[in-house]
């Protein structure tokens, strides 16, 4: 398997624009996680899915953030409208129930 | 909410030294994870443990559930071990999101 695949790897956008981050989990994994990493706050959980259903979205910072998982092979994290304070590295990870999480390479987002 | 504390924050050592990184948490957990983040930014899971001790190559992870404490040891350290080591915990049977420590930045000098 190619591992967890995230796209794009880098995204530069202007404040107010919509940003969509994409993630393809490892085939067969039933959990998918979205994390954000900043210098100030470190790594934080945003939301996670089990069998495509959102289980805990308490880490989503604001209504500007939304995440979907329309099928077992694909998830998106959308920010609309984006703000400079959303600049961070966004990681997607997947796992099989109760096992270690495999991380994607991350998307580095810069909002100008 | 679980509070995860790591020490030290930064560690510089010479090649060959024995390294210990510590992690403590505030609330009971179902599993503790040790992760490695390379200078390029990628994150790799090293260990997931809920009791006792695990070993993989030169890396050893231990956990004391009663004391809410874990340690990561590196034997015969090498410059390629230079990375950020992150402790994280889960509370929901292992099948929920991670709560992370701030990480330990390790530099091994030749």
pLDDT tens for A26-81 read 999 999 999 999 999 999 999 999 999 999 999 998 899 999 999 999 999 999 99
Question: Are B95 and A105 a contacting pair at CB < 8 A?
Answer: no
pLDDT at B93: 60
Question: Are A45 and B33 a contacting pair at CB < 8 A?
Answer: no
pLDDT in tens, B1-19: 789 999 999 999 999 999 9
The one-character DSSP state at A4 is -
**With bands split at pLDDT 50, 70 and 90, how would you rate the model's confidence at A95?**
very high
* Three-state DSSP class for residue B106: strand
Q: Give A-chain residues touching B97 at CB under 8 angstroms.
A: 33, 35, 45, 48, 56, 59
Q: Report the DSSP beta bridge partners of residue B32.
A: B49, B89
Question: Are B98 and A100 a contacting pair at CB < 8 A?
Answer: no
Mean pLDDT of B12-40: 94
Interface size between A and B, measured as CB pairs under 8 A: 53
Please answer whether residues A70 and A9 qualify as being in contact, where contact means their C-beta atoms are separated by less than 8 angstroms: no
State the nearest Cα–Cα gap between A22 and chain B, in angstroms: 17
User: Any chain A CB within 8 A of the CB of B86?
Assistant: yes
User: Any chain A CB within 8 A of the CB of B42?
Assistant: yes
B94 pLDDT more than 60: no
pLDDT: which is higher, B91 or B10: B10
Q: Choosing among A37, A43, A53, A94, which should be mutated to test the B contact, i.e. which has the most B CBs within 10 A?
A: A43
DSSP A23-41: EEPPTT--EEEEEEEETTT
Question: Are A103 and B94 a contacting pair at CB < 8 A?
Answer: no
Integer angstrom CA distances of residue B9 from A15, A47, B48, B84: 34, 27, 21, 9
pLDDT in tens, B49-80: 999 999 999 999 999 999 999 999 999 999 99
């Amino acid at each position: 398997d190619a591992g967890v695949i995230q796209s794009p790897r880098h995204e530069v956008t202007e404040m107010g624009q919509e940003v969509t981050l994409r993630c393809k989990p490892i085939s067969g994994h039933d959990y998918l996680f979205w994390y954000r990493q900043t210098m100030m706050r470190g790594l934080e959980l945003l939301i996670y899915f089990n069998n495509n259903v959102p289980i805990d979205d308490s880490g989503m910072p604001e209504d500007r953030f939304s995440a979907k998982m329309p099928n077992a092979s694909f998830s998106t994290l959308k920010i609309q409208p984006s703000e400079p304070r959303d600049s961070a590295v966004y990681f997607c990870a997947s796992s099989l129930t109760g096992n270690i999480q495999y991380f994607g390479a991350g998307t580095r987002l810069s909002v100008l | 909410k679980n509070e995860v504390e790591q020490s030290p924050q930064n560690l510089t050592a010479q090649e060959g030294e024995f390294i210990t990184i510590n992690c403590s948490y505030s609330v009971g957990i179902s599993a503790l994870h040790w992760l490695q983040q390379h200078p390029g930014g990628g994150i790799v899971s090293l260990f997931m443990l809920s009791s006792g001790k695990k070993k993989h190559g030169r890396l050893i992870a231990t956990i004391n559930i009663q004391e809410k404490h874990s340690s990561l040891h590196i034997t015969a350290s090498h410059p390629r071990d230079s990375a950020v080591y992150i402790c994280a915990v889960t509370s929901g049977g292992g099948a929920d999101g991670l709560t992370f420590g701030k990480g330990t930045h390790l530099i091994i000098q030749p």
